[in-house]
Every structure is written in C-alpha cells, then in structure tokens.
Structure 1
Amino acid sequence: MKLFRAALLATALVLPLGSMVANAATPANALVVAQNIDDIVAIDPAQAYEFTAGELNANLYDHLVQYDAEDTTVLAAALASEWVADEAAKTLTFTMRDGVKFSSGNPVRAEDVVFSFSRVVKLNLTPAFILTQLGWNPENVADMVTANGNTVTVKWDGDFSSAFVLNVLAARPGAIVDEVTVLANEVDGDLGNAWLNKNSAGSGAFVLKDFRPAELVRLEANENYYKGAPAMKTVLIRHVAEAATQQLLLASGDVDMAKNLTPDQVSGLDASKVKVELYPQSAVHFLSFNQKDDQLTNPAIWEAARYLVDYDGMTQSFLKGQMEKHQAFWPKGFPGSYDETPFTHDVAKAKQILADAGVATPVTVTLDVINSTPFNDMAQSLQASFAEAGINFEILPGTGAQVITKYRERTHQAMLLYWGPDFMDPHSNAKAFAYNSNNADDAYAATTTWRNAWAVPAEMNAEVTAALAEPDQAKREAMYVDLQKQVQASSPIVIMFQATYQVAMAPNVNGYVNGTSSDFVYYRLVTK
C-alpha cells in the first residue's frame, strides 16, 4: 500500500477498482475525498460560478469579511480587522488586518482589495453582477473603491444598507487576490484570468497545486495562513462520478470522504466503520400556483394547500437525507431565518377551509415538474394527498429547461420547483418570494412572485424595500422574519422543504465544515 499511496498523492491517478487493496489507509496529514467535480468550468473567483468551484474558492481565498469555518452563520472580520459604516454617505471604511500574507509571501495590502474588486468589474464575467449591483462599472469603480494607507473605502450607489453591502462583499467575487502575482501572469490583457483558472493567488488556508478537469484537484496547506496552517498538509479531491465507486473507495479506506452517495447507499453503510454527517443547504423547495388562472386565485386554495402536503411522509421516506421540513423562504442556518413549521398534513382541515370559502371541488390543475428523481416522487405524493381534498393534479413532467422556460413564460398552472439565493443576504430571497412591484406581462422579473403572476400587496413590497435599506442589523433581520411569516401565512407559494446534504466519512475525520452553501465548505479545521 505504500506504493499505492505514493502514487495517489504524487500523481493522483484514478485506479480501476481491481487494483485497489483492502483495508487501505490514507496518510495522517492528508485528506482524500471522492467527489463528482465535473461541474468545474472556472476557478478564478472573478469567473467561478459552479458549486465545486465555490468550495475551492472558500479554501483558497479570503474576503474583507466572511462567513468563516468557525461559525458559518456569523459574518466575521477576516482580512479587515474592523470597519465603520456611514449610512448617509453610503460608505464603508475597512481597516486591513496587520501582518497577513498571501500564499506567495506578498503582504495583503489595501491596494490588493482595490485591484480585486476593479478586476471583477472590468472582466465582467458571470458573477460580476453581485458587485455591479452596488452601482459599480468600469468607468467609476476607481472612485467607488479607494485605498489610503491600510484602509479601504467602499462606496455604493443605491438604497442599500451597509449590512446588505457587507454580505455582497462576502460573496464569491469579493475574494481578494494578490495583485502582484496576478499581473505577473497576465496574458493579452486578461488580468490573469487564464492563469487563475489553473492556479491560485489568495491568502486562504490552502494553495491550488494541481487541477486536472474531471480528474483531480490537489490543495496544499498555506503555511503563511494568518490563523495558523491547517493540520491537513494535502487535500486531494479525486473525481469519482459514480456513487457506487465512491462507496467502495470509502469502504476500502482508499478515501477519507465520499460526497455524492445516494440515500440508499448511505442507509446501507456500516455505522461502525463509516459516519455520516447531515448538513442543511440553502435551496428551498416549493409548490406554487399561477395567479393568471382564475380557479387558483382564491386564498383558500393557497391555505388549504399548506395542509395537503405530506411533509413528514416525504421527508421520512424517499426524501430522507435529501430534504427536511422548512416552510419559510429564507433557509435555516442564516441570520434572519424563520424556522417555525406550523403546517402539517391535515386533510380534514383543508376540506373545511375549502368548504368555508365556497370552493367547488373537484378542481383539476396541471402540475409541471422536472422529470428526474426525487421530483417525480414528490409530484406523485402531492397528487395523492391533494386528491383527498378534491384538488386533482395532472402531472406534466419535462426537462429542467422545458419546465423553467414555461415558468418564465407564466403559462403553467401549478409548479414544483426549488430556489437558491445568489448570495447570502436575506434580500436575495425576499425579492424572489415577497416582492413584485410590476405584475405586467412585459415586466419580466426573475422572481417566483412575478412568474406566478402574484401581485404582491403594496405594504409587503414597501417592507422589502425598507429592509434592504435598514442599517440596524437586528431590526433588519426582524423585518425579514416578519416578511417570511406573511408569505408563509398567505401567498400562492407553498414552501415545503430545505435541501440537506449527506457526507460519508471515515470515523477518524473530524472538523470538516459544510455550511448551507458551497461557498461555506472548509477543510482548514479537519483533523484525522
């Protein structure tokens, strides 16, 4: 096995199962992960937009402020040791932390922050919109982000609170890169983009040492990391697309962690040899009713629907390990979430609600659903439970593209879908579930409210706008909780579940952190 492990760590060749040796053991200072990583298109934080790329960036780069490994629910100081907000002037002034170095050994300077933000705006690649929503563009970004000694001043143009801006800067494109190293590897004015898709230039806990698409990623510990070098000197992520192969590699000891096992595989693991950790994720799953259909506009239909979903029946059977009951639009695990689940499967109550409102049954409604697991099973469960109260779903399966296109065109009746925030600020979901200021057909908005033609009450629209600008964090979170209660109580959008993620690992692996987003996956605290 010494030869096998040497080959694994030196060249990380993906060996056929026949060449594996039973009872293997990975090195004590290396974490070996089996994972499907073929979604990676880009690693450069100015371009990266895929889940696995987000995981890598979380370990390679730091931000001025971030949701860090110690507690992924708290926005904490990182490269900035402190900051001062001037809401009236729409500015944040950050003081840079002393003594922090990039993995290259270069000091982290205020000028690197200016360069990093400007670079994202000028490249204008996929995630740039997260920063440009602050009113930044290539012409004005030099005035909006400035350095003076060890301080950085960030300005914005719009009715945003500093709390919202801090969450924007903590998002993936807010990563701080080493200007000197990046520009040394610039080619044809690309600001180092090609080089950063194969290398890293951050101050994070790890350094990207090898990336082979659909084969492997190798990270090595950053000995300069300002919070101390990680215990794992190497993190080797092997691309293993097949869940069954991941299971075999974990069982044989050739990997320490398997990230893509199916619920059936997880339930079949030997609990004495493998442990499974469950992590809530940011995607919420919902059923919605299009208000362009007259038979679906009665609020009694919306209320009854909340009592016709068999929440426990689904999460305790085919959704076990994949989803948990959650009935509000902001996912559990983030500041401002509302985690009460007042609705249960109660057919008698649903029937009474419909009868009291004079709703004539049966009602026949088409239900669009993505034609894959577990969505087909969810649709069939809804079909069975809603039929008990006289609401008959005709299931219309389609590809993801077909279903979403129909949703955008507002031509559906009922829709089963999911939603994840673009960045970790509650406004990202509040705008999607509680705001629609123009319900006209030609006023397209990428929100669940507009797509379901729900003309949100003016008071709710006003509260969403006010919450976005509220400078007091506690008051702001309370406003988002109130908005979630309102949407939960009465809207044509029935939020049912929050996704969960199961990771199987060897019993001796401790300290792995997997927050509710791929941007909050950390290997820094792992020990074996």
Structure 2
Amino acid sequence: MKLFRAALLATALTLPLAAGAVYAATPADALVIAQNIDDIVALDPAQAYEFSAGEINANLYDKLVQYDAADTTVLAPGLASEWTADEDAKSLTFTMRDGANFASGNPVRAEDVLFSFKRVVTLNLTPAFILTQLGWTADNIDEMVTVEGNAVTVKWTGDFASAFVLNVLAARPGAIVDEVLVMENEVDGDMGNAWLNTNSAGSGPYTLTDYRPAELVRLTANENYWNGAPAMKQVLIRHVAEAATQQLLLTSGDVDLAKNLTPDQIAGLGDNVKVETFPQAAVHFLSFNQKTESLTDPAVWEAARYLVDYDGMTETFLAGQMEKHQAFWPKGFPGSYDETPFTYDVEKAKQILADAGVETPINVTLDVINSTPFTDIAQSLQAGFSEAGINFEILPGTGAQVITKYRERTHQAMLLYWGPDFMDPHSNAKAFAYNSDNSDDNYTATTTWRNAWEVPAEMNAEVNAALAEADQNVRNEMYVDLQQKVQAESPIVIMFQAALQIGMGSNVEGYVNGSNSDFVYYRLVTKN
C-alpha cells in the first residue's frame, strides 16, 4: 500500500481536495489520468518517438493537415485551411489558416512551417526519416519547401501520390512550432531542442506547463485555441507504473482515467466506473521463415489460416484486448479490408495439406515474447496446429531477443505484431506486400524480408503503383486488392487487430483514443 499512498499524496499536492477528505473527486474542470509514462525519452516533436510522448504532443501541436479529434479517420484541415495538389510537378500548395496563433500569442506564419520542417531535417533525430523520405535534406530543404505570403509549397522527389505526402505531413514530425519562441531558447545551436524537451511551443489546445520525468505531466488549456478552448482547463498525467495502483486510484475517484489496467482488473471495476474500448493500429500475426524448407509450401500457409482459433482466443483471454482481423491494414482507415474469411477448421486444414502431398508431422520452433498475451496466444496456436500435424516448440524470449532474431532471419516461425509509422496504407503495404531484393545482405525492416519471402514481381509492382496513384478512390481499391492477395497466399498469417481498454469515471465524456498514440485527444472531454 506504500506506493498507493505515495500516489495519493502526490495528487493531493497538485490538485485541491475537499477539506479533510481522504479520497476526493477530481476538480470539475481538470482531467486526471493514471498512466505509465516512463517510456518518454523526448518531448520535442523533432525527436519524440515514444508512445506516451506522441499522446502528449498530439495535444500541444497542430500540423498543416491532421486527423482531428472530431473524427480520427478523416484527414482534416489543420493550420492550413485549404490546399491544392499538382501531381505532375510533385507539389502541394497550402493556404495558411487566418487568425491562428501559437499559445505564446505569436501568429502562426508560413515561415513557421518552413522553420519546423527545416528543423526536423537539420537535427536529423529519430523520427526525421518520415519527412526525409520525401527527398528532403538539410541542403535542399529551402528549395523543397518555399513560402510566398500566406502560402507554403511543398515539393517531393520520387513517385509519391499527394495523398501519401499529406499523410506524411500529418505525422508527428509534421508538427508546426513557434520559430520566434523556439529560437529565443536555442542553446549552442541546438535549435531549441533541449528547451522543447521540457516546454512546448505549439498552437494546439494545450500547453506544457510542468514535466517531471517518470513523475507527472501537466497540460494547461490554450484558451485562445483556434478550434475552440477545451472544457478541461488542466490535464494532469500522473506516472503510476503499477496497474493495481491505477485501479485503486480510479475506483476511489482520485483519477478520471486509468490507462494500463489488465483484463482481470477491467473485469473487477465497480460502480461509478465505465470501460471504453478503442481499436488500435497494431496487427498481430504468425509468420513462417522461408529459409525453413518445411515451411515453403503454399499449402502450409493456406492450412495455417484454418488452424488459428480466432474466435476462441478473442472470446476468452484476448477479450477486450484484440479483435479478429485478417488483413495488413487496420480497419477504421481508408483502404482497409475488413473481411475475415478464415475460421478454425482442422479438417479443412488437414485436407489442404493432404491434397498438396505435404508430409506431416512438421516440427517447427515458434519464437514469442515472454509475456502475456503473447505466450497465451502461442499456447493456443500450439494446441490448434498440432491437430493437423504441425508441432510448435515454443521459444520464449525478451522482446529484444525475439526481434533481434527476427531481424537476423534466424527464426523458423514467429509470433509478433506490427504498427504503421504513419497513417498511410503504404506504410503497411511495404511491410507485408513488398520485397524486391531478398538477399541476406539487403537488410530491410519489413515482415517480408525478415521472413525471406520473395514477393511476386507483380505484387511489388502493384505496391509501387498504389504509392504513386493520384486518384484516392483508386488508390484505396489497390490497397484492398493487395490485402486480399496477401491474405490469400503469403507465409504471413494476420490474425488480430489490437484494442485498448481504458477505465474511466462514469462522468467522463468525449475522450478520444484513436488507433495510435498520435491520435489521443483531450480537447473534447467534458465531465457531467
């Protein structure tokens, strides 16, 4: 109970409590969150790459275009009120929104856009690759991003559709920062990097007013936000690593949200608490390394799809954590394919193997991260596959050990998950449907290369064509087609899409938790 008492004391020091109260409801105009935030390394949007940092930055900064809290599936105007695309010239021209100011009071200018993009490329920190894939470098950025009055023109090299570029600009490093304020806090040529890791310089609905690593984050409402001032005047995120402590804080009314509860704790929540489930972008899959001879027959891949007990898992130990999904792009976004044609059918799997003349038993090792729910999934797969003569020897390891083995292509079968770097279907199409050079010395961070699957040439060509397709409806249809092809015949068996369950007070409304950490929004929250 010592940790629980410490957490309550910390809350009492930062938020007013009723006189003499041991447990008190949170203030009506403050959102108090219990969350494990010890993953934060950096908060500067040019450097931040961790999940918790993404959630915080989503509420501090705007982009030219963004997936807004009102509908996280629609790419909406942000600091740009409108834009036009010139596919032939490989350019987009944005008109800046009238009347938008940074939280500092400084106006948002076209020059701030150039500065923000130039800053990301020049600092060249972890997320910079998302922008530099457009052909931007520190040497050419002034030619690739140009300003004229209240208009910004963005150019790119490579065969990219403008829709792809818009999704790139909507990603985290596309955040627009206040050049004047940032450069006032520059130290030794760092372009304000050190300062922005404990402060904010955005135009978003909140400002960062306190950050203590592995302790707390406090956000204060930007009353002059161009899209409407938030109802919650403060958001306090308390670092609470223990899920049991989060549960106690939530049920006692000392926090409004608990974000890291286990399924057992979710099931045990009492009155005055509700649970909301939010689909996430990560897809979970089983894959077969094509360097293992016994796993190269397409009949093995097909049979495997009928040996996964999708419903059995999602209705029991995965309930609330994952839902059945069998395509590489998560549902809820344009271009997703949501049909789930495969069911657990041992007899059908046996027939597929027999018709193809595949000899059983097949003995294969299965690498898995040694934590729940991965080990539970592995045991279910082990039981189901054994019914058809495919015997898994489960090899548990740390996340680092499993992923290192995967990158080295030394596994046989692998149980893992994949999330997009930014919300464009090409991010996953490249990972699951493209591999133009399968040689060992051509390391590529994709599931196809890591499983040594030499993707058919026509599928590689379709991935490139979809990336360049200017008509968004046609482009979406191409990604659906690619998902159908991967679903039908590949050594990668996609099984689930992750879901996140969050416990919250019954009076909390309007909390938005989109499919990844960049789509977590507080500005629409109210408390009844």
TM-score (norm 2): 0.96
Indicate whether 1:91 and 2:91 are aligned. Answer: yes
Please say if residues 62 and 202 of structure 1, whose CA atoms lie closer than 8 Å, have aligned partners that are also in contact.
yes
Alignment-mate amino acid for residue 489 of structure 1: A
In structure 1, distance between residues paired with 2:27 and 2:399 = 42
In structure 2, distance between residues paired with 1:180 and 1:95 = 21
Aligned residue for 2:448, secondary structure, equals: helix
- 1:121-160 alignment runs, 5 A limit: 121-160=121-160
In structure 1, distance between residues paired with 2:268 and 2:405 = 39
In structure 2, distance between residues paired with 1:171 and 1:204 = 15
- 1:96-135 alignment runs, 5 A limit: 96-135=96-135
Please say if residues 12 and 216 of structure 1, whose CA atoms lie closer than 8 Å, have aligned partners that are also in contact.
no
In structure 1, distance between residues paired with 2:237 and 2:509 = 17
In structure 1, distance between residues paired with 2:73 and 2:254 = 33
Q: 1:413 to 1:478 in 2, by over 3 A?
A: same
Alignment-mate amino acid for residue 386 of structure 1: F
How many angstroms does 1:316 deviate by?
A: 1.2
In structure 2, the residue matched to 1:516 is 515
In structure 2, the residue matched to 1:228 is 228
In structure 1, distance between residues paired with 2:145 and 2:133 = 14
How many angstroms does 1:10 deviate by?
A: 6.0
Please say if residues 218 and 235 of structure 1, whose CA atoms lie closer than 8 Å, have aligned partners that are also in contact.
yes
Aligned residue for 1:69, secondary structure, equals: coil
State the 4+ residue runs in structure 1 displaced beyond 3 angstroms.
Answer: 4-13
In structure 1, the residue matched to 2:190 is 190
Alignment-mate amino acid for residue 260 of structure 1: N
Alignment-mate amino acid for residue 275 of structure 1: K
How many angstroms does 1:11 deviate by?
A: 3.2
Tell me the alpha carbon deviations over residues 240-286 of structure 1, each in whole angstroms, 9 at most, x when there is no partner. 1111111111111111110010000001112x321000001111110
- 1:378-457 alignment runs, 5 A limit: 378-457=377-456
In structure 2, distance between residues paired with 1:402 and 1:5 = 37
In structure 1, the residue matched to 2:40 is 40
In structure 2, distance between residues paired with 1:460 and 1:372 = 35
**What do you get for the CA RMSD once the two structures are aligned?**
1.6
In structure 2, the residue matched to 1:280 is 279
How many angstroms does 1:449 deviate by?
A: 0.4
How many angstroms does 1:9 deviate by?
A: 7.1
In structure 2, the residue matched to 1:11 is 14
Alignment-mate amino acid for residue 46 of structure 2: A
Alignment-mate amino acid for residue 282 of structure 2: A
In structure 2, distance between residues paired with 1:130 and 1:479 = 23
In structure 1, distance between residues paired with 2:403 and 2:106 = 46
In structure 1, the residue matched to 2:4 is none
How many angstroms does 1:5 deviate by?
A: 10
| Unmatched runs of 5 consecutive residues or more in structure 2 | 1-6
Tell me the alpha carbon deviations over residues 300-320 of structure 1, each in whole angstroms, 9 at most, x when there is no partner. 100000000001111111111
Aligned residue for 2:380, secondary structure, equals: helix
How many angstroms does 1:378 deviate by?
A: 0.8
Q: 1:199 to 1:61 in 2, by over 3 A?
A: same
In structure 2, distance between residues paired with 1:118 and 1:214 = 31
Tell me the alpha carbon deviations over residues 36-95 of structure 1, each in whole angstroms, 9 at most, x when there is no partner. 111111001000000000001100000000001000000011100100101111110000
- 1:281-320 alignment runs, 5 A limit: 281-320=280-319
In structure 2, distance between residues paired with 1:99 and 1:494 = 50
In structure 2, the residue matched to 1:342 is 341
Please say if residues 276 and 504 of structure 1, whose CA atoms lie closer than 8 Å, have aligned partners that are also in contact.
yes
Please say if residues 12 and 238 of structure 1, whose CA atoms lie closer than 8 Å, have aligned partners that are also in contact.
no
Indicate whether 1:21 and 2:22 are aligned. Answer: yes
How many angstroms does 1:362 deviate by?
A: 1.0
Aligned residue for 1:418, secondary structure, equals: strand
In structure 2, distance between residues paired with 1:20 and 1:504 = 23
- 1:353-364 alignment runs, 5 A limit: 353-364=352-363
How many angstroms does 1:6 deviate by?
A: 11
Number of aligned residues:
519
| Unmatched runs of 5 consecutive residues or more in structure 1 | none
How many angstroms does 1:12 deviate by?
A: 6.0
In structure 2, the residue matched to 1:333 is 332
Indicate whether 1:269 and 2:272 are aligned. Answer: no
Please say if residues 65 and 78 of structure 1, whose CA atoms lie closer than 8 Å, have aligned partners that are also in contact.
yes
Tell me the alpha carbon deviations over residues 343-397 of structure 1, each in whole angstroms, 9 at most, x when there is no partner. 0101111111111111111111111111111111111110000000111111111
In structure 1, the residue matched to 2:460 is 461
In structure 2, distance between residues paired with 1:421 and 1:340 = 20
In structure 2, distance between residues paired with 1:457 and 1:12 = 60
In structure 2, distance between residues paired with 1:6 and 1:291 = 55
Q: 1:52 to 1:362 in 2, by over 3 A?
A: same
Q: 1:378 to 1:7 in 2, by over 3 A?
A: closer
Q: Percent identity?
A: 80
In structure 1, distance between residues paired with 2:95 and 2:8 = 45
In structure 2, distance between residues paired with 1:71 and 1:47 = 27
In structure 2, distance between residues paired with 1:402 and 1:240 = 27
Indicate whether 1:78 and 2:78 are aligned. Answer: yes
In structure 2, the residue matched to 1:504 is 503
In structure 2, the residue matched to 1:58 is 58
Tell me the alpha carbon deviations over residues 124-156 of structure 1, each in whole angstroms, 9 at most, x when there is no partner. 000000000000011000110011000000000
In structure 2, distance between residues paired with 1:399 and 1:260 = 20
Aligned residue for 1:424, secondary structure, equals: coil
